[in-house]
């Protein structure tokens, strides 16, 4: 089947042709016809299977079709007709690129808004008039409260990476947005993994949604070769260096659980003359954008990332993903290794697992219903005398383990989607905060 058989207009087909794509992916074949009919769709597929184009292409077609039926030409006054919510900045940028690419020959204007950057520029762009808005929840609600963003004429609402939005605590923000947009809208929910919570979310926000899945939920791509290397925690850095150096790996995405851990690992690799950069929530948007661009252009060999910062990284033919530390949430493992083996290409996912993480590994294997091959690297055998210790998961993190706070702090709907702005301690609290800051390096994204 070709894209022309899906019922897309000539301007969209022309844009698709220029990208080099000729055949729709399975999720696109199933989802696009349903969306074009106007159905609410709940779609699930592994990362790298074309989910973004799966909703972007029919979204543009529906806007175009409705515009022709009503006789409007998109001039002179524009209003937001489509709203796409994403959990992270990087993912918002990725979706924004897709929208611009496929709407190249259509008269629509789109923009991206998220926290951590100058809000005035975003306000000026929106005031000039846009048709499609891609946003993270916090900054969106900020601009809604300032009466800059008007969602009263939204025709299509898309929740992208819905599972991650739930994980990040955006459920209340999403509910606020849903109350603002018109009830007579089309709602599309896309997710890499499905859960009971996701389906419950869909039932509350969608009208008779049609479920579309192209693979068993929470499974990993068969094109990704997975391997576990058991190793003592203190020797993980050495082993990672050996794998990169001996294998002559030129492009490696490495995951850590913490921001501090990402920084320390990046510093170590730099000292070993391996060009590296780290991206996480404490990095400025400019620094993250530069690091990602350098990685894509192969100016650096290693990008060290935390789970949240890495969502939205889309790199063609990325050959290697390394779990320097296993995630405590099994679903995050599926997302991580989904960065490689994309668009039908092969990839390799390596996990360095110490005795402390054996429970995490068992949880991943239960979720994915598979045993991951274990290979002991000569010279890096595990010391059997070392006993497992509890993994400090930091404050407010889900998934078990030690928790410092039983009651999570209420998330503010501000442009601070990444909790990057820190309150300055006053004199009364300075002493108490000094004690807390001793453990700052252990805080998660």
pLDDT digits (tens, 9 = 90+) for 250-259: 999 999 998 8
d(CA 149, CA 170): 19
pLDDT of 19 above 90: no
Q: What is the pLDDT of residue 342?
A: 64
Both structure tokens of 373:
């091959």
Domain 3-213 identical in fold to domain 224-374: yes
Using DSSP's 3-state secondary structure scheme, residue 52 falls into helix
Between 114 and 163, the more confident residue is 114
Is the pTM higher than 0.75? The answer reads no
| Confidence category of residue 316, pLDDT binned at 50, 70, 90 | low
pLDDT of 437 above 80: no
Q: At what angle do helices 51-70 and 26-36 cross, to 10 degrees?
A: 20
- List the single range of 88-97, 252-261, 330-339 with lowest mean pLDDT: 330-339
Between 395 and 303, the more confident residue is 303
d(CA 274, CA 213): 40
Largest distance between two CA atoms of the chain: 76
Q: What is the pLDDT of residue 442?
A: 37
Using DSSP's 3-state secondary structure scheme, residue 122 falls into helix
- List the single range of 260-264, 277-281, 340-344 with lowest mean pLDDT: 340-344
What percent of the chain is modeled with pLDDT above 90? 53
| Confidence category of residue 213, pLDDT binned at 50, 70, 90 | confident
d(CA 159, CA 177): 11
Q: What is the pLDDT of residue 276?
A: 96
Between 345 and 140, the more confident residue is 140
pLDDT of 79 above 80: yes
Topology of domain 3-213 in CATH is Rossmann fold (3.40.50)
Q: Over range 367-393, report the average pLDDT.
A: 91
| Confidence category of residue 63, pLDDT binned at 50, 70, 90 | very high
| Confidence category of residue 74, pLDDT binned at 50, 70, 90 | very low
Most confident of 65-69, 94-98, 153-157, 281-285: 153-157
Ranges of each domain in the chain: 3-213, 224-374
Q: Over range 344-354, report the average pLDDT.
A: 87
Q: What is the pLDDT of residue 369?
A: 85
Q: What is the pLDDT of residue 129?
A: 94
Query: In Å, what is the CA distance from 291 to each residue of 272, 305, 387?
Result: 19, 10, 37
Q: Over range 399-405, report the average pLDDT.
A: 35
Q: What is the pLDDT of residue 186?
A: 96
- List the single range of 73-77, 162-166, 308-312, 400-404 with lowest mean pLDDT: 400-404
- CATH code that applies to domain 224-374: 3.40.50.300
- The answer to whether 433 touches 425, Cβ cutoff 8 Å, is yes
Between 400 and 332, the more confident residue is 332
Q: Over range 370-374, report the average pLDDT.
A: 93
| Confidence category of residue 421, pLDDT binned at 50, 70, 90 | very low
Both structure tokens of 388:
């497992």
Reported as half-sphere exposure (CB side, CA atoms, 13 A), residue 254 has a value of 32
Burial of 141 (0-12, 13-18, 19+ CB in 10 A): buried
The predicted-structure confidence for 165-207, as pLDDT tens digits, reads as follows 887 788 899 999 999 999 999 999 998 777 777 888 888 889 9
Both structure tokens of 18:
């220029």
Average pLDDT, the chain: 82
pLDDT of 77 above 80: no
| Confidence category of residue 445, pLDDT binned at 50, 70, 90 | very low
d(CA 54, CA 134): 16
């Amino acid at each position: 089947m070709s894209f022309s058989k899906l019922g897309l207009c000539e301007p969209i087909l022309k844009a698709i042709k220029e990208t080099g794509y000729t055949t729709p992916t399975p999720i696109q074949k199933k989802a696009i016809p349903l969306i074009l009919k106007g159905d609410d769709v709940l779609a699930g597929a592994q990362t790298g299977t074309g989910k973004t184009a799966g909703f972007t292409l029919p979204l543009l077609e529906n806007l175009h079709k409705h515009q022709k039926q009503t006789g409007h030409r998109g001039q002179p006054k524009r209003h937001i007709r489509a709203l796409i919510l994403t959990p992270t900045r990087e993912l918002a940028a990725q979706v924004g690129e897709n929208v611009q690419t496929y709407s190249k020959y259509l008269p629509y204007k789109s923009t991206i808004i998220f926290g951590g950057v100058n809000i005035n520029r975003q306000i000026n762009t929106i005031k000039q008039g846009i048709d499609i808005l891609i946003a993270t929840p916090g900054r969106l609600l900020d601009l809604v409260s300032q009466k800059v963003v008007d969602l009263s004429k939204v025709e299509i609402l898309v929740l992208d990476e819905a599972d991650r939005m739930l994980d990040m605590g955006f459920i209340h923000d999403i509910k606020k947005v849903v109350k603002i947009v018109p009830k007579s809208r089309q709602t599309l929910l896309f997710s890499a993994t499905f859960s009971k919570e996701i389906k419950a979310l869909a039932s509350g926000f969608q009208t008779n949604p049609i479920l579309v899945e192209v693979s068993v939920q929470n499974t990993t791509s068969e094109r990704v070769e997975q391997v576990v290397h058991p190793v003592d925690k203190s020797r993980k850095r050495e082993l990672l260096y050996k794998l990169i150096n001996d294998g002559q790996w030129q492009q490696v995405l490495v995951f850590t659980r913490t921001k501090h851990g990402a920084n320390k690992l990046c510093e170590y690799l730099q000292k070993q003359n391996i060009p590296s950069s780290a991206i996480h929530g404490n990095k400025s948007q400019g620094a993250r954008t530069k690091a990602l661009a350098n990685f894509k252009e192969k100016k650096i060999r290693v990008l060290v990332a935390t789970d949240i910062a890495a969502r939205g990284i889309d790199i063609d033919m990325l050959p290697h993903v390394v779990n320097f530390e296993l995630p405590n949430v099994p679903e995050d493992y599926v997302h991580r290794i989904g960065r490689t083996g994309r668009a039908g290409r092969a990839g390799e996912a390596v996990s360095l697992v110490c005795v402390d993480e054996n429970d995490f590994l068992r949880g991943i294997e239960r979720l994915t219903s598979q045993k991951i091959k274990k290979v002991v690297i000569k010279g890096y055998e595990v010391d059997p005398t070392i006993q497992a210790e509890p993994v400090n998961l930091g404050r407010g993190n889900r998934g078990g383990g030690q928790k410092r706070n039983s009651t999570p702090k209420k998330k503010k709907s501000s442009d601070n989607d990444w909790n990057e702005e820190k309150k300055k301690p006053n004199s009364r609290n300075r002493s108490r905060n000094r004690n807390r800051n001793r453990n700052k390096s252990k805080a998660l994204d």
